[in-house]
Amino acid sequence: MEPHRLALPPGYRIENYEIQAVLGKGGFGITYVAFDWTLGRHMAIKELLPDSIATRIEGSTVVAMGPSHEESWQWARERFVEEARILAGFRHPNIIAVHRLIEANGTVYLVMDHLEGESYEARLRRIGREPDETSLMAVIRPLLDGLQEVHAAGLLHRDIKPENILFDKRGNPVLIDFGAARATVGATMTMTSIVTHGYSPIEQYQTKGKMGPWTDIYAAGAVMYRAITGEKPPVAADRVGTDCYVPLLSYPSLSGFSQPLLHAVDSSLAIFGEQRPRSISEWVIRFSNSQQEPARASAATIKTCDENHPDASSALCNQPANERRYSVICPHCNWSMILETDIQTSFECACCGAKFDAKPRFQNTTEWSESACGANRSDEPKPHKLPLSMANWAKLAAASLILVGLIYFGFSWALAVGNVQKRMDDSIRQQIAAKQKEAHEFEMTMKAMQFASSVAPPTAVDQKKKWVETQVSRLEALKASEMEDRQREQRYKEALLQEKAAAIAKQNEEARIRQLEADQQAQKAAERAARDMAAKKKEREQSMLVAEQKLQEAQAAWSEILTKANVQSPFVSPAGLRFASVPGTDFLVSLNLVSRSAFASFQGTKTSNNEQPAYVTYREASDFCTWLSMSEKNNFHLPTEEEWKKVVQSGIILDGGSHWIWCADALKNSAYSAGGDGKILLGETVKPAYRDKPSQDIGFRCILSPSF
């Protein structure tokens, strides 16, 4: 089989199963043959892939074809899983066994037995058709038993056909491919159905067809029709309006098959579901006893009388003279039945299977003829023939005429609805062959006449010559007609080729338009991206210009502060600290120690002593600088050792210069001071306890440096 365009490649692994080949494909999925590396055997794997709503991407993943199909795809997966679990519970010898359910690649896989036997379709092609009823029922009856269990579980197969019936190694028929199964007994289908022409009933062609066991019964009856006649029944969709189906009971010769069986098959192939048997058990009753009734009636309770009554050994002729007899006639097929009692009023015909109500009619046993028994006994009943009334004779004649008319018109319709193209081709070929044969015969006749004219008398020669000229003219006309037929056939083929070329050109044009639209969309997307990038670039440039301008403004402001801030005219911060620039540096130093009032603002308290220095711990001094930087949006910090050296060396007069102060390097347990002699005192050891509690002689100053 040719690989499916969406099929998984050979060698692909699904857990411990390795895909080897594609077994089949349909509207609901793909079936593979795979090797089970765990058990060392071949299995069949059914992959759910309805190509009308789902597709494969990235090699193996199955997704919905679009947002509009997402709900249908999700529904299909849930139903497939539910039905697979139900099927896995079946263990019937004539139903394919389901072993595992695997959810992978966004879809579901059904692991089943792999049967290597031939299909029923292959067998029928090989033998033509079943020879008799026994061989047919050996195949159909076991399948119906398994199908009845499937229906009892609320499932339908929906795709019964000879291709889905395989024979195992022992020759037992097995029903396979439950990929189209749906739990729709008593429900209405709105999803697209899978149909097989000739085997699918009319409800599967409809988007909202009411389905049930009668759906599978139609397909099973179509399989029996195919096995009995050697051909498929007409397509169900073509039977609506004017039914072209020819009943099996109307076939001239179907030896080996009983009429109850043929009638049961005809009843299963009714167009509409309500006209078919409602269940397998109801259908089987119609032909289950057909193999036991060669006379078309049960010998246990029903006896028949006709014109070809047997001789004296007949059971009817051997009945006692005083035994009462009752008769009843089927109103559908005029089948006569003799009953033992008149109590029964409801009957089922042993011939056509129809059910009807009637009152048995008493038969006078003295009317039986003695000659039918071959004996001259006055004390025994005479055999009596059940006469048909004039009304029944009229009904029988009318039914016969209607049946003949149906057969005639059925065959006429079957011939009329054939493939028109094929009939045209066959007709043209037959005409050409006939005319070629006629031309060849005329040519041979002409040659014979020319030979005869060479030895005939002059008058005969003239006559033959004239005849030959006439034949030559006819031959030329025939050749011209043959040439015209060939040209007409050639024009017909060219027209077909032109139609195909036009269809291909239309597809190519549509593909080109789709590609052009895709390119335009891609170009628009690229243009939008370019515009966005340009806008972002412009925005970044503007931001950089603004930042650079702010930096320049900050640098200019800082330069102005460095230039103007000195001891005589210091820069005063909102916290009350007076700063002066240190020559040769880019920072300012506070001339005064941080006061208690400024530190109280940091702590969120108030104090009346505004001028006294704040004697605090190192950590408190560092936290104050951080708070002051955030409050005044400047860079305040404790002086480092290098900064303090430059302050002392600059000679700036500081308030309270002899005080020890906390510096940034105080983590070394050191504090620094400017001595009265102008020398910096460095590295003096401070008691470690002073780092955690205030000292009465260690305050702190702040350094103001640029924030850029």
Q: How far apart are CA 101 and CA 154, in angstroms?
A: 20
So what's the pLDDT on residue 265?
94
So what's the pLDDT on residue 446?
64
pLDDT at 16 over 90: yes
One domain for residues 270 and 301: no
One domain for residues 189 and 224: yes
Mean pLDDT of the region 310-329: 44
pLDDT at 298 over 50: no
So what's the pLDDT on residue 394?
66
Which one, of 686, 674, 677, lies nearest residue 645 by Cα? 674
Residue at 499: amino acid letter = E
Q: How far apart are CA 287 and CA 282, in angstroms?
A: 10
What is the domain count for the chain? 5
One domain for residues 128 and 269: yes
Mean pLDDT of the region 81-109: 89
359 found inside a domain: yes
Residues 562-602 pLDDT 10s: 887 877 788 888 888 888 888 888 899 888 888 888 888 88
Q: List the CATH number of the domain containing 191.
A: 1.10.510.10
pLDDT at 524 over 90: yes
396 found inside a domain: no
138 found inside a domain: yes
Backbone angles phi, psi at 470, to 5 degrees: -65, -45
Percent share of the chain, pLDDT over 70 = 69
408 found inside a domain: no
How would DSSP label each residue in 453-504?
Answer: HTTS-HHHHHHHHHHHHHHHHHHHHHHHHHHHHHHHHHHHHHHHHHHHHHHH
Average pLDDT, the chain: 76
Q: How many CA atoms lie within 13 A of 276 on its CB side?
A: 28
So what's the pLDDT on residue 306?
36
Can 159 be counted among the known catalytic residues?
yes
Q: Return the structure tokens found at 276.
A: 């078919």
pLDDT at 182 over 90: no
So what's the pLDDT on residue 120?
92
The residue out of 82, 113, 144 marking a domain boundary is 113
435 found inside a domain: yes
One domain for residues 271 and 124: yes
412 found inside a domain: no
The residue out of 508, 536, 562 marking a domain boundary is 562
One domain for residues 126 and 266: yes
One domain for residues 582 and 695: yes
Mean pLDDT of the region 286-304: 43
345 found inside a domain: yes
Mean pLDDT of the region 507-517: 93
Range ranked top by mean pLDDT from 236-250, 340-354, 414-428, 642-656: 236-250
One domain for residues 270 and 297: no
So what's the pLDDT on residue 333?
57
pLDDT at 178 over 80: no
Query: pLDDT: is 442 or 123 the higher one?
Result: 123
Query: pLDDT: is 372 or 98 the higher one?
Result: 98
One domain for residues 134 and 280: yes
Query: What is the torsion angle, in degrees rounded to the nearest 10, for the CA atoms of residue 489, residue 494, residue 496 and residue 502?
Result: -170
Kindly report which listed range (221-230, 412-421, 478-487, 538-547) carries the lowest average pLDDT score.
412-421
How would DSSP label each residue in 630-688?
Answer: HHHTSEEEPPPHHHHHHHHHHT---TTTTSEEE-GGGGGSEEEEE-TTS-EEEEEE--G
So what's the pLDDT on residue 416?
58
Residue 337: strand pairing partners = 328
Cβ atoms 471, 446 nearer than 8 A: yes
pLDDT at 375 over 60: no
Of 159, 216, 266, 665, the active-site residue reads: 159
Question: What letter does residue 33 receive in the DSSP assignment?
Answer: E
4 found inside a domain: no
Residue 579: strand pairing partners = 571, 590
Kindly report which listed range (66-80, 186-200, 543-557) carries the lowest average pLDDT score.
186-200
The residue out of 340, 365, 387 marking a domain boundary is 387
Residues 636-692 pLDDT 10s: 988 887 888 888 788 787 776 545 677 776 545 455 555 444 444 444 444 454 555
Kindly report which listed range (288-297, 452-461, 462-471, 609-618) carries the lowest average pLDDT score.
288-297
One domain for residues 297 and 280: no
Q: List the CATH number of the domain containing 96.
A: 3.30.200.20
One domain for residues 99 and 139: no
Q: Return the structure tokens found at 196.
A: 């097989």
So what's the pLDDT on residue 514?
93
Cβ atoms 411, 231 nearer than 8 A: no
Mean pLDDT of the region 189-197: 61
One domain for residues 233 and 336: no
Mean pLDDT of the region 199-214: 88
Q: How far apart are CA 116 and CA 113, in angstroms?
A: 10
Query: pLDDT: is 3 or 187 the higher one?
Result: 3
Residues of the domain holding 232: 120-290
Query: pLDDT: is 407 or 360 the higher one?
Result: 407
One domain for residues 242 and 284: yes
Can you give 266-280 as a three-state secondary structure string? Answer: HHHCCCCHHHCCCCH
